[in-house]
Each structure stands twice: as structure tokens, then as C-alpha cells.
Amino acid sequence: QEQLVESGGGSVHAGGSLRLSCAGSAYTFSGHSMAWFRQAPGKEREGVAGIRGDDYTKYADSVKGRFTISRDNSKNILYLQMNSLEPEDTATYYCAAAHAPIYGPSLLLHSSYSYWGQGTQVSVSA
């Protein structure tokens, strides 16, 4: 059973920055697809950013130019750098992993992923 552990959430004012981290096993980071999702109260979980083993990345339109996903396979850590945060970014953020390459829009699709972390809360005030 893969275990993913997120950290780095917190409360910031609009315009601020946070960096989320997701630690996993060496197997999880062995070149497969990973992503960040978020879920706000009363809303469905949505894909924010995804990264394949070949370092191809994909972002939701709402975060393009503000968020950056990256991975450090030597440390088995996935990152999400979030800049210019807005109140609409308030949500619980989850990292996810799949033991297969994922192509196209499916990289941000919830059903593409088998392994999930417990989530970390991000709150952005106006």
C-alpha cells in the first residue's frame, strides 16, 4: 500500500505564497504520474496540476502562471509552489500517484489515480 503524506498548508493573505510537499516511497516516485488535487467545502475534487515521469506537466486554467508542480525523485518528494494566492484557492489539497503514465487531460482526472494522501488545508484570506 502506497503512503503519501502532504505538508506545507497554512493560512495566508491574498497575494501570498505557500509550498506544499508530498512525501512518498521510492516506488511511487519511480517515474510514474503524480498530481495535486484540491477540494473546497461543497465542491467536487478538482485537478490542479499533474506531472508525468517524463516531466511533462499540465495545469488547471485557474492556476496557470501562479502554481508550479515539480518532483525530486532523489528525495521522493512532490512539490506544489503556489504564488499569488487568491481566496478562491482555499481548499484541502491532496497529492495523488498512479503506477502508470497518464496522457492528455486524464493527467488531471481524479479517476486516473490509485493512491492518495490525507490532505493539507490551505486558507487564503482577502
Q: How far is CA 32 from CA 3, 27, 84, in A?
A: 15, 9, 29
Predicted confidence band at 7 (pLDDT cuts at 50, 70, 90)? very high
Is the pLDDT confidence value at 30 over 80?
Answer: no
Residue 28: the pLDDT is 72
Reported as a single tens digit per residue, the pLDDT across 37-62 is 999 999 999 999 999 988 899 999 99
Reported as a single tens digit per residue, the pLDDT across 64-74 is 999 999 999 88
Is the pLDDT confidence value at 27 over 80?
Answer: no
Residues 6 or more apart whose CB falls under 8 angstroms from that of 84 comprise 15, 17, 66
Residue 31: the pLDDT is 64
Reported as a single tens digit per residue, the pLDDT across 10-24 is 999 999 999 999 998
Cβ neighbours of 91 (radius 10 Å): 22
Predicted confidence band at 1 (pLDDT cuts at 50, 70, 90)? low
In percent, the amount of the chain with pLDDT more than 90 equals: 80
